[in-house]
Amino acid sequence: MSSARSSATSSATTAEDKTETSAAPEPGTGHQGQTFLVGGTIYLRRIELADAPLGMSWRGVRYPQSPQRVETWIKEEMAKDRNAAWYGIVRKADDRVVGSARVGRAGGMAVSLTLTVDPLLGDRGLAFKAEALKLIAPWVVEEQNRPMLIMDQAADEPAMIAAAGEIGMRQTALFR
């Protein structure tokens, strides 16, 4: 009887060991199993503590910040902010966070959307940003029942303006 127990215990341990070693997904597979907010080259997911080392890619701050400072911001400030949700724009090829989407309350039934991408990515970053807009704007408006989405957009990003037009957004104000 004791030998049956020991073999059951050893097989359970072996199964746990296998799970631990295979727990880390292969690069480029982080989007698998996700049923929404997945596009052709990117997907969106909540910001995690593991994203702190790449904070300069998605925070949109002017000055460099240490990963420890970004991690503290994620744990304390971002977690306390009940008026905004942060999503990482993640490149599917290697599961690297290349930008962020901040969805915040703008009053009443309106929400604000701020998209940020790593400026070092250049035009490719703008393509990621446009794809993120096409994914998140319909989701916020239709799935979360927010009839008004407010987004500031620079005039020198024609890919973003075209993406907004494709999904039915329209310009309501122009500031010089």
Domain-wise residue ranges, the chain? 26-166
Residue whose pair of structure tokens reads 């070693």 in the numeric block: 21
- What is the rounded end-to-end Cα distance, in angstroms, of the chain? 83
Say yes or no to pLDDT of 42 above 50.
yes
Angstrom distance (rounded) from CA 36 to CA 135: 9
Q: What is the DSSP string of 71-121?
A: HHIIIIIIHH-TTEEEEEEEETTTTEEEEEEEEEEEETTEEEEEEEE-GGG
Tokens representing 107 are 């009053």
Tokens representing 16 are 């746990």
Contact 111, 104 (CB under 8 A): yes
Q: Which CATH class is domain 26-166?
A: alpha beta
Angstrom distance (rounded) from CA 7 to CA 22: 23
Q: What is the pLDDT of residues 45-57, one digit of tens each?
A: 998 888 888 877 7
Q: What is the pLDDT of residues 103-150, one digit of tens each?
A: 998 888 889 999 999 888 889 999 999 999 999 999 999 988 888 999
Quick one: what percent of the chain has pLDDT higher than 70? Answer: 80
Say yes or no to pLDDT of 5 above 50.
no
Residue whose pair of structure tokens reads 């024609």 in the numeric block: 158
Indicate the pTM of the whole model. Answer: 0.76
Name the phi and psi angles at 126, rounded to 5.
Answer: -65, -35
